Each structure stands twice: as C-alpha cells, then as structure tokens.
C-alpha cells in the first residue's frame, strides 16, 4: 500500500448537499476525517446528522463529492460494507432469531466476522444465548450488537445515538468496551449523541452541524485552547462586551462571556476565567448563549 493511500482521509466530503423537496437537509458540507480518530458528530434534532450518515453509508443519494475508504458509497455500497459497521438507536437485529442464530447468520454473510471474538464478549455479559432477540432488554440488544460489531474487522464504525434510552451504567460500559476492545489507530469511529458530556473524554475530533451546515470542525485538544469562559466581575460588563465575545449568558447572577481565540491577557482584571466544556461550546456555537 502506498503512502498516498495510507494517508488519504477515511471520509472526504466536498460540497455535499441533500434536499427533500424545498427543504435543504445538507448545504455544501465539506470535511475530512482521517484514520484512527473518534469523531463526535454533534447537532440538535433535525440538524442534518442522520442525513449525513445515510450518505456516508450509501443509504441515500446526494449532490457533491463523497469518498469513504476510497469508495463511492452511492455506487459501491456492497464493497464498502465489508469494512464498515453501523449501530443506530433503533436495533436492526432480527427479533425472531435466538442470540446464537444471529451469530450464525452474521457468520454466513460477513467474511470478516470472527465468531470466537463475539462469543468471548457475550460470555462477559448476562445475555442468555438461547433466548430470542425480542425477549432481550434494550441494553442487552445493544450489547449483542456491539459484540457483533467488535467481532468484525472493519475500518469504520458509525454509531448513531447507540446508547439512547439506556441507563448510565450501560452507557459507561458501552464506551469502555468500545475503547478497550475495538478502537485502535487503524480504525475510525463516528459517534452522534445527545449525551455530549459522557463522550467528551473519548473524542479526538468534533464536528458541529446546524441546519445542514458545518458550524465547527476541530480537534478536541485544540478546543480548550480556542475557547475560554469569563465570569465577569461586577462593573466590568461593558469592557467584557467590547472584546467581542462569541456568546454571552448569565450564571449565579453574573454575566458570563465565552471567547474564541482571544489573548488571555486581555481578560486580566475582568473576572474569573475557566475552561469551557464541550457541551457549553456546543450550546455557544448553536445559540450564541451559554448554559
């Protein structure tokens, strides 16, 4: 494999657009996702996340240019799916099958499925392997889906609200398993979720999307350097506003300002500063306000 191929983005989008009648779900979206990254695709309901994922997975037509693992997902979906796995908030496993029958089925259709790995993962869960999928709890179904995915030697894993509706113990265990048993520098993971705080620590990159447009694309390690929140001292509101905050809000009766790419020295004497969490950055970018 040449260096050019190895260094090529896992996903490359240029001018990606999608309309449903007069409604524009995606508006000239362009981005690159490299190999070996965990990317958070974050946006409110209706922002265009699912439309974008459907295009990446070859489930929807689109305008513009899109390459996934060097393939055109609209024309080469069959080949692409050998190296892509997908988990959504709506389980797609056949409910009439028993757990072991699901493994039999996947083994018969996917050349990269390792049944031994799947059974090893399931042995550490409370999933009854002789029970039908429809008799499992939602948490167990997600665990079964994860067991299948982790047993497939795929290069790209797409997770669309994978833990929606699960309790916090299941959610934490899901991401722990994902990090410890699946992810490595030769795989790429894309995650959409509303529980931003729970995945902030595992993300290497974030993409914020609003009304079909990319609002922010950055490495998470760079965000702490780009954004800072100031709790403005009484009487300093005018000076703080003059510095052009990205967003403003209030907390404990005091004005708060979030700044992007500002010299920290300019905030000296104006109040207390703190690091801005990913959820707060998202809210600031989406609404112009802080929580």
pLDDT tens digits, 184-219? 888 999 998 877 888 888 999 999 999 999 988 999
The domain covering 34-55+77-208 belongs, at the CATH homologous superfamily level, to P-loop containing nucleotide triphosphate hydrolases (3.40.50.300)
Q: Residue 272 has which token pair?
A: 């207390």
Q: Which of 4-8, 179-183, 258-262 has the highest mean pLDDT?
A: 258-262
Which among 281, 270, 161, 148 is positioned nearest to 227, based on CA atoms? 281
Q: 211-241: per-residue pLDDT in tens? A: 999 988 999 988 878 899 999 999 999 999 9
**pLDDT tens sequence across 256-282:** 999 988 998 999 999 999 988 888 888
- Which of 164-173, 239-248, 280-289 is the least confident region? 280-289
* Alpha-carbon span 214 to 54, nearest angstrom: 16
> Which residue carries 């990159």 as its tokens?
205
Q: In degrees rounded to 5, what are phi and psi of residue 242?
A: -65, -20
Q: Which residue has the tokens 């990254």?
A: 37
The predicted pLDDT at position 1 comes to 41
The pLDDT assigned to 272 comes to 93
CA distance 38 to 129: 31
Domain range summary for the chain, segments of one domain joined by +: 34-55+77-208, 222-287
Long-range contacts of 282-285, Cβ-Cβ distance < 8 Å, separation of 24 or more = 282/42, 282/196, 282/208, 283/247, 284/227, 284/246, 284/247, 284/258, 285/208, 285/210, 285/215, 285/216, 285/246, 285/247
Q: Is the pLDDT of residue 28 over 90?
A: yes
The pLDDT of 61-89, averaged and rounded, is 91
User: What's the pTM?
Assistant: 0.83
CA–CA dist 36, 186 (Å, integer):
5
């Amino acid at each position: 494999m040449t260096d050019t191929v190895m260094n090529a983005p896992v996903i490359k989008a240029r001018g990606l657009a999608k309309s449903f009648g007069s409604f524009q779900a995606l508006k000239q979206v362009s981005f690159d996702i490299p190999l070996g990254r965990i990317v958070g695709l974050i946006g409110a309901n209706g922002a265009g996340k699912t439309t974008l994922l459907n295009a990446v997975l070859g489930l929807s037509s689109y305008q513009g240019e899109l390459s996934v693992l060097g393939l055109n997902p609209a024309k080469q979906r069959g080949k692409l799916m050998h190296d892509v796995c997908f988990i959504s908030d709506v389980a797609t496993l056949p409910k009439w099958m028993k757990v072991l029958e699901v493994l039999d089925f996947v083994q018969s259709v996917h050349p990269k499925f390792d049944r031994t790995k799947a059974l090893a993962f399931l042995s550490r869960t409370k999933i009854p392997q002789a029970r039908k999928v429809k008799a499992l709890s939602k948490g167990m179904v997600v665990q079964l889906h994860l067991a299948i995915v982790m047993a497939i030697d795929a290069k790209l894993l797409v997770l669309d609200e994978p833990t929606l509706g699960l309790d916090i113990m299941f959610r934490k265990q899901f991401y722990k398993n994902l990090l410890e048993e699946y992810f490595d520098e030769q795989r790429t993971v894309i995650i959409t979720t509303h529980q931003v705080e729970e995945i902030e620590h595992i993300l290497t990159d974030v993409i914020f999307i609003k009304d079909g447009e990319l609002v922010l694309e950055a490495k998470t390690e760079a965000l702490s350097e780009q954004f800072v929140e100031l709790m403005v001292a009484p009487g300093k509101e005018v000076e703080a506003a003059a510095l052009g905050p990205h967003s403003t809000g209030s907390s404990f009766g005091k004005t708060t300002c979030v700044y992007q790419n500002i010299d920290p020295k300019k905030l000296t004497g104006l109040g207390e500063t703190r690091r801005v969490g990913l959820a707060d950055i998202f809210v600031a970018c989406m609404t112009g306000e802080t929580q």
